[in-house]
Structure 1
Amino acid sequence: MSAPAECRPASELADPLVEAIRGIDTTALDCVQVNAAVLADAAHGAGAHLELGGRLRFPVRAAAPGALPTVEQPPAEQIEQMAGPLRLALDTGTPVTDGTVLMDLLPKDGSALYVVGDAYRMPWLPYHGHQHMDHSVLLRAVDGGARVEAVDAYDNETPYGRAEPVVCVYPRSQAAALFDGSPAVPVTARPLPAEPEPLSRVLGRNAGDAALLLAGEAPERYAAAFRDHPDQKTACGALLLETWLLNRSRRLHAAWVAHHAPGSAHAEAAAERAAAWDELTGQCYLASRRVERGRPVPPQIHTALARLLRADAETAVQAVPREPGETMPDPTSIRRTVTSTVADVLGTDPEAVAATDDLSRLEGFASFQMVETVERLEDAYGVEFAPTDLQPAVLRSVDGLVDLLLRTTRTREVTPS
């Protein structure tokens, strides 16, 4: 494939979209987030993208048999979750494999189309010709549509070289050829007038997730999956990606806290947590290199991984402002109540309820039982759930119901009646 007609570092160009890149710490965002962040800052002003760092997520995806767990999210899920914090309407179109069709979707006014494609086919990236992976880029028509600009703010040191924010200009036909034969997902973006979610609500949701994690052994199980995997070369490579993702998310969270509460104890703690993840990522890189040479894995990385996840959760719980004497609800007690309530509604054993991650798989589960479970839990704790929180995915999961109760009851100490 021929080289682009022109490719220049974003730092050398003057343009509203490119100017937005210069106000972003692009090393704190992954390859799906970073170009959506550019659109947010261009639309709402410098720093708008920091709202992506508000939610400090803890859930780890359950691994299929023989597979390793991961915190990585599919692009479609990320796009859905980014829209609210970035105050953008992100409308995902049908994947296309014809580059000409993709070019025809570019806005005629020269605004950008956000696209998720294959990094393997993007010549401005070090991954080009080396590794297939989902990657976002902003495409816009210039010179009356005769040429196409690819704007990419991704910033990372890869095994194949450095990726830096760049703008590449291609003849329209050449740009189309880059996307021929490989699915590309077009996403139209427009600004929304909504205000950012209130700080107290974000902190409360973080604390609910964190309390749920602290109630069990999820951090230790997550770390043990990598420690005990029979193929340590594969495990170390996967763990390097995991810590890379966690490191970037914690750095972005620290920047969000510093933006909203500069100089606070919470900002200091978040910065310390981010620095610890940066250090662990470096240790995992060293471990991966050692395993490649047939040397043993330093055992401390797995212990550190579990410890850092717990420390993050403890920091999130402590970050929620409370009145004197106010405490976080006990997640272990709430889990027992949820499990026994669901079991009673369905007429099944609590062990069966605790063993499934999707309650709809249990015999007898239907909409009526879902409603009855919600009403019983509201009555038990003397609360009323917000209608917007009663999402099907939440109500089909013990974890979802526990998290819902933790968030709803955290403002006061309650016990089931």
Structure 2
Amino acid sequence: MSASADPCTKASDAVADPLVEAIRGIDTTALDCIQVNAAVLADARHGPGTHLELGGRLVFAPRAGAHGPLPTVEEPAADRIEPMGDLLGLVLKIGRPVTDGRALLDLLPEDGGPLYVVGDAFRMPWLPYHAHQHMDHSVLLRAVDGGARVEAVDAYDNETPYGRAEPVVCSYDLAEAAALFDGSPALPVPVRTVPPARPSVSETLARNAEAGRRLLAGDAPECYAATFRDHADQQEACAALLLETWLLSRSRRLHAAWVAHHLPGSPLASVAADRAAAWDTLAGQCYLAARRVQRGRPVPPQIHPALAELLRADAESAVRAANEHPGEAMPHMPAQVRQTVVHTVADVLGAAPEAVATTDDLSRLEGFASFQMVETVERLEDAYGVEFAAEDLDVAVLRNVEGLVGLVLRTTAGAEVAHA
């Protein structure tokens, strides 16, 4: 391969296949570098939206950092992979670390299926971290062209100090692919598909509320923020805090997407979106603080109390969410059902709710097709805990907001009569 040849294609431009299609349907900016490629696998195996189960739990569990006294909410990759698989309907069994690239490639499935691998971002040339920073990073490897080449599929999406990381598909011959992993430990993780083990929405909200009550009973948010505020080396502290708020911001954005998926148009979805936006703002402020400190300027003092306040606000929101959704069914009043239908269609199509609400024929909206009709039906069935009768799934009904509202109202009314 010549020095000028680029082996990578943006996923948005790549030839469509199940993995690429899954990437296109995911907000990759809501996932970190360990989650994102497991999310691609889950959506490819079980359908769009499966990955959102990673966002159900609202977690704040800082632990001692690997270096020095600063805490971190980041878990070691090896501790996250198998539990992640339980939610995604994937058995992700971590193999023994491999330091020989050829030995790693020997583990690729012969049928061209993907092998999930966690390696060193420093060795991955499609990333801005390449030759700059060592960190665990996941990638999907698969054999193509009858085993003559290897594709690296990576959905990671982030602005970094070294440039932008975008979802890509990269193709290498065997020697090139092996060289990427020679001499650096990589964790191979074979993938097997199983039914997802999904807790109910109410159960997840209850667990979030329990964790929220524990946090509110003590001073963990203030102690966490003070550790960064009082650290002797403020360059180190601000750099670490930037990573912390980045991780917390992405997790809150994913949580908001999970709520919107399961409770579309609900007050809880609106609150979760507001909370995620507040974390995005704080992460931006921490980026500014890190840059200022690098230039010898003082740390903006507001970032530390803001961090503690956001953590407390998250906990308070979690407690309220469980109280407002204590296991009851979705509301069945026509106006509430219409709001749910509009937000569900908008989420499936990536459209503005206002555009959906004012469109007589949904097929006029960009992105609407048979696949989106099916996903809308399945999302509404999941939301209301019903199954629509096959004879009611008329195309004219499914292409119209009012038709979908009527379908939900008739089906839920019938379910209530059947259980009376």
TM-score range, shorter chain: 0.7 to 0.9
Alignment correspondent of 2:10? 9
Specify the alignment match of 1:350 in structure 2: none
- CA gap of 1:192–1:294, structure 2 versus 1, over 3 A, is same
1:191 CA drift (Å): 1.4
For structure 1, which runs of at least 5 residues remain unmatched after alignment? 325-417
Q: Which residue of 2 aligns with 1:129?
A: 131
Partner of 1:165: 167
**Secondary structure, counterpart of 1:157 in structure 2:** strand
Q: 1:224 matched to which residue of 2?
A: 226
SS at match of 1:320: helix
Distance 1:151 1:323, change over 3 A: closer
| 1:247–1:281 CA contact under 8 A, matched in 2 | yes
The count of aligned residue pairs is: 324
Alpha-carbon distance in structure 2 between the residues aligned to 1:225 and 1:2: 50
CA distance in 1, matches of 2:66, 2:184: 26
Deviations 1:293-345 (A, max 9, x none): 00000010000000000000000011114699xxxxxxxxxxxxxxxxxxxxx
Change (3 A) 1:130 1:170: same
Quote how far apart the aligned CAs of 1:194 are.
3.6
**Other structure's SS at 1:220 match:** helix
Deviation at 1:6, TM superposition (A): 2.2
What letter is aligned with 1:169? S
- Asked if 1:257 corresponds to 2:259, the answer is yes
Partner of residue 381, structure 1: none
Partner of 1:370: none
After superposing the two structures, state which structure 1 stretch, 104-113 or 203-212, moved more: 203-212
- Match among 25, 29, 39 for residue 27 of structure 2: 25
Cα deviation, 1:207-261, whole Å, max 9, x if unaligned, reads 1111111110000000000000000000000000000000000000000000000
TM-score for the superposition, normalised by structure 2: 0.75
Contact (CA 8 Å) 2:82, 2:91: kept in 1 or not?
A: no
RMSD between superposed Cα atoms in Å: 1.6
Contact 1:114/1:186 (CA < 8 Å) preserved in 2? yes
Residues 101 and 179 of structure 2 are in contact (CA less than 8 Å); yes or no, is this contact kept in structure 1? yes
Question: Is the 8 Å Cα contact of residues 87 and 196 (structure 2) preserved in structure 1?
Answer: no
2:69 corresponding residue in structure 1: 67
The one-letter code of the counterpart of 1:132 is H
Residue 60 of structure 2 is matched in structure 1 by 58
Question: TM-score w.r.t. structure 1 length?
Answer: 0.76
Aligned to 1:180: 182
Contact kept in structure 2, 1:93 and 1:187, CA below 8 Å: yes
Could you say which residue in structure 1 is the equivalent of 2:145?
A: 143
**1:92 match: secondary structure:** coil
State the one-letter code of the partner of 1:250. Answer: R
Once the 2 structures are TM-superposed, how far is the Cα of residue 65 of structure 1 from its aligned partner? 9.1
Distance 1:139 1:201, change over 3 A: same
**What amino acid is the match of 1:92?**
I
| 301, 304, 327: which one aligns with 1:302 | 304
Q: CA deviation at 1:76?
A: 1.0
Q: 8 Å contact 1:5–1:170 — kept in the other structure? A: no
Report which stretch shifted further, 6-15 or 219-228. 6-15
Q: Give the Cα separation in 2 of the matches to 1:51 and 1:257.
A: 10
Quick one: percent identity of the two aligned structures? 73
1:341 is matched with: none
- Contact kept, 8 Å, 2:202 with 2:325, in 1: the verdict is no
SS at match of 2:298: coil
Divergent runs of 4+, >6 A: none
